C-alpha cells in the first residue's frame, strides 16, 4: 500500500473519532453548565476547554467571553477552528475522498452525507434541534461510520490503518479528559472537601458518562464515585473500550500484524508494559498530573513514529 493511502486512512479515522470525542466532551460540559451550583462559575467551566495558550488566544480573537453560545459555536461550527466538529468532518471527508479506491461506497456515502448536513447547519439550527440532541446526532453519525467500516471493509492493510487511527485518537482523548481534572488530585488522595463533594460527584459522573463508562463503574465498584477509582477504570482497566489500556492493546495488535520488528511496535509494547505494571496507589504518590503528561507525551511520540514508519513523514 502507498504511504499516501495509509496516511489518508489513518487521518480519516482520527478525524471522525475526534468529531465524536469533541461532541462527547461538549455534551458533558453543557450538562454541567446547567447545574445550579455551576451558574456562578460557568465561564471557568467553558474556559477549561482551552488548555493551551494558543487555543485560548485563537478563541479570544473572535469572542470576548467564555459563555455557552459562543463556545459551542466555536467548537462545533467554526470554519477557522481546525478542531471544530465541522472542520473534523470536512477533513475526514477529504481523506475518504482521496482513498475511495480502497474504501466501500457505503463509507463514502456515510461521511459525505454527514458533511452535507453539518455544512448547512447554523447555530440557530442547533438551538432549534436542542444542543444535547444535536451533539447526540454527531455521535450517532460517527457510530454509523464506524459500523459501516466494520461491516463493509475487507480485512486487509486498509482496515488495519483505519483501526490504528481510531485507537490512537481515542487513547489521547481519554488522557486529555483526565488531565483536565488532574489539578484536583493530591498525593494523599483527591480533594474531598465537604462543600465540593456534591459537585465532584456530578463532575466525575459526567466524565464517566462522556465515555460511556458510568454503568461499568457501578457494576465494578458498587460504591459512590471516587475520583481515584475513576482514573483507575479509565487508564488501567482493559475491559472498558475507551480506557487507555484497551486502546493501547488494540494498537499493539495492529502493529504486530503490520510490522512486528518496527520501531513503532517496540514503542507501543513499552507503553503497554508501563500500564500493565502501574498501580493506582503508586501513581497517586508519584503525581497523577505527571503520570498523565508523561503518558500523553508517549502516545504523541508513538503517533509520530507510526507516521515515520508507515506514512508521509520522513
Condensed to tens digits (0 to 9), the pLDDT of residues 140-154 reads 999 999 999 999 999
Condensed to tens digits (0 to 9), the pLDDT of residues 19-30 reads 999 999 898 888
Q: Of 272, 267, 249, nearest to 307 (Cα)?
A: 267
Please state, in angstroms and rounded to a whole number, the distance separating the CA atoms of residues 62 and 60. 5
Per-residue pLDDT of the chain (314 residues; tens, 9 = 90+): 678 899 999 999 999 999 999 999 898 888 877 766 555 556 677 887 887 888 889 999 999 888 889 999 999 999 999 999 999 999 999 999 999 989 999 999 999 999 999 999 999 999 999 999 999 999 999 999 999 999 999 999 999 999 999 999 999 999 988 887 766 665 555 545 555 566 667 778 888 988 899 999 999 998 788 888 899 999 999 999 999 999 999 999 999 999 999 999 999 999 999 999 999 888 888 888 889 999 999 999 999 999 899 875 55
CB 287 within 8 A of CB 311: no
Q: Inter-axis angle of helices 263-277 and 244-258, to 10 degrees?
A: 150
Q: Of 82, 84, 93, 142, nearest to 115 (Cα)?
A: 93
Q: Of 11, 16, 254, nearest to 146 (Cα)?
A: 16
Please state, in angstroms and rounded to a whole number, the distance separating the CA atoms of residues 64 and 67. 9
Q: Could you give the count of Cα atoms lying within 13 Å of 188 in the half-sphere of its Cβ?
A: 2
Please state, in angstroms and rounded to a whole number, the distance separating the CA atoms of residues 164 and 254. 7
Contacts of 291 (CB under 8 A, 6+ apart): 278, 283
Supply the DSSP symbol for 241: T
Asked whether the CA dihedral 172, 176, 178, 182 is positive or negative, the reply is positive
Amino acid at each position: 500500500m502507498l504511504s499516501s493511502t495509509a496516511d489518508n486512512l489513518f487521518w480519516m479515522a482520527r478525524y471522525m473519532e475526534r468529531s465524536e470525542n469533541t461532541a462527547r466532551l461538549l455534551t458533558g460540559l453543557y450538562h454541567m453548565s446547567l447545574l445550579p451550583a455551576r451558574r456562578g462559575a460557568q465561564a471557568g467551566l467553558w474556559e477549561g476547554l482551552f488548555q493551551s495558550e494558543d487555543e485560548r488566544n485563537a478563541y479570544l480573537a473572535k469572542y470576548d467571553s467564555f459563555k455557552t453560545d459562543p463556545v459551542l459555536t466555536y467548537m462545533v461550527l467554526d470554519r477557522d477552528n481546525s478542531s471544530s466538529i465541522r472542520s473534523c468532518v470536512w477533513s475526514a471527508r477529504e481523506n475518504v475522498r482521496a482513498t475511495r479506491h480502497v474504501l466501500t461506497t457505503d463509507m463514502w456515502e456515510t461521511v459525505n452525507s454527514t458533511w452535507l448536513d453539518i455544512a448547512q447547519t447554523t447555530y440557530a439550527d442547533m438551538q432549534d434541534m436542542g444542543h444535547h440532541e444535536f451533539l447526540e446526532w454527531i455521535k450517532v453519525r460517527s457510530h454509523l461510520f464506524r459500523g459501516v467500516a466494520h461491516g463493509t471493509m475487507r480485512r486487509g492493510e486498509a482496515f488495519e490503518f483505519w483501526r490504528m487511527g481510531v485507537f490512537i485518537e481515542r487513547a489521547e482523548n481519554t488522557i486529555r479528559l483526565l488531565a483536565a481534572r488532574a489539578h484536583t488530585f493530591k498525593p494523599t488522595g483527591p480533594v474531598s472537601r465537604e462543600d465540593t463533594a456534591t459537585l465532584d460527584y456530578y463532575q466525575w459522573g459526567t466524565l464517566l458518562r462522556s465515555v460511556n463508562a458510568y454503568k461499568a463503574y457501578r457494576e465494578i465498584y458498587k460504591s459512590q464515585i471516587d475520583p481515584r477509582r475513576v482514573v483507575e477504570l479509565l487508564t488501567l482497566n482493559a475491559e472498558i473500550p475507551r480506557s487507555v489500556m484497551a486502546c493501547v492493546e488494540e494498537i499493539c495488535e495492529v502493529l504486530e500484524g503490520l510490522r512486528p520488528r518496527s520501531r513503532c511496535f517496540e514503542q507501543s509494547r513499552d507503553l503497554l508494559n508501563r500500564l500493565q505494571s502501574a498501580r493506582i496507589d503508586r501513581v497517586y504518590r508519584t503525581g497523577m498530573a505527571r503520570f498523565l503528561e508523561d503518558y500523553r507525551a508517549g502516545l504523541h511520540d508513538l503517533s509520530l513514529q507510526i507516521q515515520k514508519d508507515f506514512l508521509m513523514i520522513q
